[in-house]
Amino acid sequence: MLLINKLFAGGVAVPHRKNTAEMETVVMDTPSKVIIPMAQHSGPPCRPTVKKGDIVKVGQLIGDSDAYISAPIHSSVSGIVKRVEPMLYASGHLVISVEIEADNKQELSEDIKAPSVNNREQFIEAIRGSGLVGLGGAGFPSHVKLNPPKDKKIDYLIINGAECEPYITSDYRECIEFAPYIIKGIQLVLDMLEIPRAIIGIEDNKPKAISLLKEKSKNDSRISVYSLRSRYPQGAEKTLIYTVTGRKVPPGKLPADVGCLVFNVNSISFMAKYVETGIPLIKKRVTVDGPVVREPKNVEVLIGTSIGDVFEFSGGFLSKPYKVLMGGPMMGIAQYSLETSVIKNTNAILAFDKNEGDLPPETPCIRCGRCVAACPMNLLPHEINRFVMAGRYNELDKFHILDCIECGSCSYVCPAKRHLVQSIRLGKDAVRRNAKKA
């Protein structure tokens, strides 16, 4: 085991609270219905390829797009399409979605078959057909990432197993339960893209996963397992690259610009499973936890299942939740309704009482600089916040606002309890809208 000594700038020490780490994944029963949004990836949403009244089967294509940065969407159940219309999405927006009433037969589509993968082009085409997006939270289409510009020489494949947010253990369970598939997926990408070396990075609070993956990869000299210091946000793409390679991704650039390709452990494992079975991305492991959840656990959930059904499968609530998050407590999105659906990049749903879920009131900034020290991107969160609150959106570019990864470290350490991340999100939205107008 090799312990990397490089430490990225900033970051914070957060409590781990990995209550479900040693809880084996349990499979949830098929729900009575699923609502599958057509926007589960970066880029334009898909167009539905089915209509009300259609009979669909498991793995059948139900949404696709001609856009390059997109990923097809498949049915997670067999049954009948009841609605195709705008419905509530996890972000709070209305998104065109397909509601399917399940028939509990779970019949596989006749189109499902293991893909033929003999070269790079076939591999990338297969991954696009699988519907795979980044399963660590970003949702970027994986086939796009696997096809960097020809002038970018990739010499590192980096596998992200850090899982640095509190509570979430879905990546850890993949390492424990499907370590051979993680190694197979790595070898597949190394072979198809002719990358010489792979590094698996895992925080040092997961010794069992480190040991297991080290054992499973010992016969392949191209693969190394690195134990990383437990510091949030260790799992952010740019911080992980710096930690394991010493390379810095410049502002506005991508990992490929410094010769790196980064995938989450679940994403790389899925690639191996898909090449073996041909079953597209229709299910996801989700950590269900929080102070008011009766039976915290890791659950394998069909995509499109309502988070309310998942909580019910986990014993329901000990008391009425004050706040429900999709994702972790640092970067998760508060949910308006329990009717919203689990989507491809959902890795956790958490429920909190008022004591832990309520935001403290803001007080004036005391100019202490703690947010600056905590920012892993070397930004000035207090200044960005000041300009956003003043409506001076045209001046935000000089603060490199789009380089913010919204990790929440600044808000976490702020003694004045400033809502820094929320204001930065508003500012980023304004900058993008202004750019479109221009």
Which three-class secondary structure state does DSSP give residue 292? Answer: coil
pLDDT at 306: 97
Measure the CA–CA gap between 53 and 101, rounded to whole angstroms.
10
Residue 183 pLDDT class (50, 70, 90 cuts):
very high
Q: Is the dihedral of CA 172, 177, 183, 185 positive or negative?
A: negative
Cβ 143 vs Cβ 127: under 8 Å = yes
Residue 1 pLDDT class (50, 70, 90 cuts):
very low
Measure the CA–CA gap between 107 and 32, rounded to whole angstroms.
15
CA dihedral 360, 362, 368, 369 (to 10 degrees): 90
Measure the CA–CA gap between 438 and 433, rounded to whole angstroms.
9
- Return all residues near 32 (Cβ < 8 A) that are at least 6 apart: 101, 102
pLDDT at 361: 92
Task: Name the residue among 344, 327, 326 with its Cα closest to residue 284.
Answer: 344
Residue type at 146 in one-letter notation: L
More confident position, 438 or 417: 417
The full set of domain ranges for the chain reads 2-21+114-277, 370-437
pLDDT > 90? residue 144: yes
Q: Tell me the percentage of the chain whose pLDDT exceeds 70.
A: 98
The CATH class, in words, for 2-21+114-277 is alpha beta
pLDDT at 32: 97
pLDDT at 129: 96
Residue 95 sits at φ, ψ, to 5 deg, of -130, 140
Tell me the per-residue pLDDT of 187-231, one tens digit each, with 9 for 90 and over: 999 999 999 999 999 999 999 999 999 999 999 999 999 999 999
Total-model pTM: 0.94
Length in residues, the chain: 438
Exposed (0-12), middle (13-18) or buried (19+): which is 116, by Cβ within 10 Å?
Answer: exposed
pLDDT at 138: 74
Tell me the per-residue pLDDT of 235-269, one tens digit each, with 9 for 90 and over: 999 999 999 999 999 988 999 999 999 999 999 99
Q: Is the dihedral of CA 257, 136, 65, 276 positive or negative?
A: positive
Measure the CA–CA gap between 378 and 363, rounded to whole angstroms.
24
